[in-house]
Amino acid sequence: MKTTLYRPIGLKELQLIIDLDFKAFPSRLEWQPIFYPVLNQEYAEQIAEKWNTKDEFSGYCGIVTKFDLPTDYLKKYEIHNVGGFIHNELWVPSDDLREFNSNIMGQIEIVKVFIGESFNYLDKNNATSLIKKWSNEKQ
């Protein structure tokens, strides 16, 4: 059996995922002790739309990704509720991310994109080009 997880990201993380051929998430930064995928798309959309679109580090863009892992593998991680009923996350220690990535089944997919007012459509990088193309295809 497999479980689908979601991860709200910004442009910089998308570029790193592109560099990893959509097969893994990048290593955490030294000040990020956990990687926290969320358990439902609605919660991921809330984060992407309300936080990432207003965040300079995210490139004023919120991207919801989804990916699958074996359900049995995920049992080792406790589910944390961080707010309302839908606000459930898995807390994966940064040191486990390499193993976590090796358990991703298939590729990481983009399922929704939110563009903030300060998003720079003129940036010349793969992530911005992909977001522009993805947005045009979905209209």
Q: What is the mean pLDDT of residues 113-130?
A: 88
Determine the Cα–Cα distance for residues 19 and 126; give it in Å rounded to an integer: 9
* Average pLDDT, integer, range 102-120: 95
Computed over every residue of the chain, the mean pLDDT equals: 93
Q: Pick 30 or 113 by higher pLDDT.
A: 113
The pTM score is 0.93
Instruction: Grade residue 91 by pLDDT with cuts at 50, 70 and 90.
Output: very high
